[in-house]
Structure formats: C-alpha cells, structure tokens
Amino acid sequence: MSFRLSQRDKDIIRFINQFRAVDRDSLVELFFKQLKSPVNACNSVMVRFI
C-alpha cells in the first residue's frame, strides 16, 4: 500500500517530530480549522499515519 503525503501531512509530521507530543485538539486548531469537519478530518489523517 502506498500513498502520497500532502504538504499538510508533511507539516504535521514535522510538527510532531519537533514537539514530540501533541494532542488532537492542537492539531485541529493548527492544521484543520478551516475545514467543515475539522475533528473528523484530523482523525482520518492521523489514522493514515499509523
């Protein structure tokens, strides 16, 4: 299985690597705030990273 990472995905990974621990609500506020369903979008992206 392969997929391309979007620039947002790369930014999230870089952010997590820099700060080592981050909660979902912080990610929603930083990266998904402008979306219609920011929490659902964040959850979907985080599941892809596992």
pLDDT, tens digit (0-9, with 9 covering 90-100), for 7-46 = 999 999 999 999 999 999 999 999 999 999 999 999 999 9
pTM (2 d.p.):
0.84
**What residue has token string 């990266």?**
31
Helix (H, G, I), strand (E, B) or coil at 11: helix
Please report the pLDDT score of residue 50 as a whole number. 76
Is residue 15 within 8 Å of 30, Cβ to Cβ?
A: yes
Whose CA is closest to 46, among 25, 36, 34? 25
16 residue type, one letter = I
Q: How far apart are CA 31 and CA 42, in angstroms?
A: 8
